[in-house]
């Protein structure tokens, strides 16, 4: 699963976000994704086999270093896009949804360019 997939990135981003609040369980991911627990379980097994996550004996999910690297990249793109859209006047909820869709197709070069733009034009306080 070394190749980039939207679903993989979504799961790793969600796991990273949930882990900031505490333990991560498949049920939490299922609720956020709007899918069944068995669907999540199947994909989590794929992520574990690919080396992106570990699942302990209590079914708690953790990112590996490899999974963290992917999640950090996706979170960074998401934050950059969200911030830019909000600064452009897009309502926050729409900006959040659009950033989640756009993060998967944005290249590293374009993300860096957008970050530079945001640095030159910081949000008014």
pLDDT digits 0-9 by tens, 41-83: 999 999 999 999 999 999 999 999 999 999 999 999 999 999 9
Residues 81-111 pLDDT 10s: 999 999 999 999 999 999 999 998 999 999 9
DSSP annotation of 105 reads: T
> Helix crossing, 65-87 with 6-19: angle to 10°?
90
**Cα–Cα dist 86/92, whole Å:** 6
pLDDT for 81: 96
pTM as predicted: 0.84
Query: 39: Cβ–Cβ under 8 A, 6 or more apart, which residues?
Result: 30, 33
Q: Strand pairing of 61-63 and 53-55?
A: antiparallel
């Amino acid at each position: 699963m070394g190749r980039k997939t939207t679903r993989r990135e979504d799961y790793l981003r969600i796991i990273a976000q949930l882990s900031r609040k505490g333990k991560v369980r498949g049920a939490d991911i299922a609720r956020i994704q709007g899918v069944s627990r068995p669907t999540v379980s199947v994909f989590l097994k794929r992520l574990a086999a690919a080396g992106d996550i570990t699942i302990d004996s209590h079914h708690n999910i953790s990112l590996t270093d490899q999974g963290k690297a992917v999640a950090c990249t996706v979170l960074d793109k998401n934050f950059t896009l969200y911030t830019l859209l909000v600064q452009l006047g897009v309502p926050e909820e729409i900006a959040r949804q659009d950033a989640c869709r756009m993060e998967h197709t944005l290249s590293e070069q374009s993300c860096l360019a957008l970050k530079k733009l945001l640095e030159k034009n910081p949000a008014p306080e």
